[in-house]
Structure 1
Amino acid sequence: MEFRIAARDDVPAVLALLADDDLSRERGFGEVPAEIGPGIWAAFEAIEADPHNELIVAVQDGEVVGTCQLTYLPGLSRGGAWRMQVEAVRIHAGRRGRGLGAEMMRWTIERARERGCRMVQLTSDKKRVDAHRFYERLGFARSHEGMKLTLAPEGGTTRA
């Protein structure tokens, strides 16, 4: 499997991976739009332009079969250590259970080391029990309780 930074042409495949998920469908994001809107393109361009963000794709047999977003965070804690935040980890539904997710995460951890990070962190929805076991098998520990506040477009708040 090859891992690389996503190109603009990869965006439809990444959106399909993100949509093919029970929680995404539950939240109303379970379909890839026929036409990709300007908000998605603006987000992709911001990720692409930011040296502290990487949208990664996993390619096997010429097909995008996995994705994740990596964000590199500087901090004053832990002696000024950098951290990698891993988000939106997905493997194509038809390819799960074959070790591809573990391979992608091992690559991601090595990427963090290459960038000088001293920690890799991620959050996972409490409903994703299988994902929690997967991350624990890779050495991740349940160390914090995460919280989110979703901001509504009109300036209010909504539940996450």
Structure 2
Amino acid sequence: MIFRVATRRDLPAVLALLADEDRVLDPATTAVGEEHERAFAAIESDVRNEMLVLTDSEDCGIVLGCLQLTYIPGLGQGGQERALVEAVRVRADRRGEGLGAELMRLAAERARGRGCGLIQLTSNKRRTAAHRFYERLGFARSHEGFKLPLERP
């Protein structure tokens, strides 16, 4: 398995993972819109953001999983950065093989190497299997999350 920063060529595969977590979608049939291109370019150019992928081989391998890491500076915790994990996905046909645990382990290692003192995430309340997964990895339900959708102008 290869863990690396995503490139533009990975974008259709990442979008396929995010589009439907219960089925394997063909990245070749996944629409990549202008909004996706802008978002990926913003992540790619921001030193505090990384889209990371787990692939089956070095060169244009099949994307088996992905996540986004955002590094957040803060005054708490002695001024240490924290890492926010978003968009965690593993291909539906490859779950149960330990890929998700490896993806999260590598993300934590990357955050630790950057000097982060904490890794945090939110998960939709309906994703009970994901909650059990995160708890098995040592994540604690220490806070209650809130979200406020904003209307576009």
TM-score relative to the length of structure 1: 0.87
Choose from 35, 45, 48 the match for 1:49: 45
> SS at the partner of 1:116?
coil
Is 1:91 the counterpart of 2:90? The answer is yes
Structure 1 partner of 2:74: 75
- Distance in 1 separating the partners of 2:135 and 2:98: 15
| Larger strand proportion of the pair | 1
Q: Which runs of 4+ in 1 moved over 3 A?
A: 30-35
- Distance in 2 separating the partners of 1:123 and 1:39: 23
Show the 5 A alignment for 1:3-152: 3-21=3-21, 35-61=31-57, 62-152=61-151
How large is the Cα RMSD of the aligned pairs?
1.7
- Distance in 2 separating the partners of 1:36 and 1:69: 18
The Cα shift of 1:34 comes to 5.3
- Distance in 2 separating the partners of 1:34 and 1:131: 24
Percent of counterpart pairs with the same letter?
59
TM-score relative to the length of structure 2: 0.91
Task: Check conservation: 2:66, 2:87, Cα contact below 8 A.
Answer: yes
Structure 2 residues not aligned, in runs of 5+: none
- Distance in 2 separating the partners of 1:107 and 1:66: 12
> SS at the partner of 2:117?
strand
Counterpart residue identity of residue 7, structure 2: A
Structure 1 residues not aligned, in runs of 5+: 23-29, 155-160
The Cα shift of 1:141 comes to 0.3
The Cα shift of 1:35 comes to 4.0
The Cα shift of 1:75 comes to 0.2
Counterpart residue identity of residue 78, structure 1: Q
Task: Check conservation: 2:16, 2:30, Cα contact below 8 A.
Answer: no
Give the count of matched residue pairs. Answer: 147
